[in-house]
Amino acid sequence: MLLYVDSQFASPYAMSVFVSLLEKKQAFDIETVDLAANANQAPAFAATSITRRVPTLIHDDFALSESSAISEYIDEAFPGVRLYPADPRGRARARQVQAWLRSDLVPIRDERPTTVVFYQAKMPPLSAAARGSAEKLFSAANALLDGQSGNLFGDWCIADVDLAMMLNRLIVHGDRVPDNLVAYATQHWQRPSVQQWANKPRPALGVL
- How far apart (Å, rounded) are the C-alpha atoms in residues 70 and 206? 28
Q: pTM score, two decimals? A: 0.95
Q: For residue range 179-197, list pLDDT tens digits in order.
A: 999 999 999 999 999 999 9
Q: Flag the least confident range among 4-18, 71-85, 134-148.
A: 134-148
Quote the pLDDT of residue 208. 40
3-state secondary structure of 173: coil
- How far apart (Å, rounded) are the C-alpha atoms in residues 19 and 194? 6
Q: For residue range 115-161, list pLDDT tens digits in order.
A: 999 999 999 999 999 999 999 999 999 999 987 768 999 999 999 99
Q: Flag the least confident range among 30-44, 109-123, 153-167.
A: 30-44
Instruction: Compute the mean pLDDT over every residue in the chain, rounded to the nearest whole number.
Output: 95
Edge-first strand listing for the sheet containing 29-33: 29-33, 2-6, 56-59, 62-65
Q: Which residues contact 197 (CB under 8 A, 6 or more apart)?
A: 9, 15, 18, 19
Domains belonging to the chain, first-starting first, are 2-81 (3.40.30.10), 88-193 (1.20.1050.10)
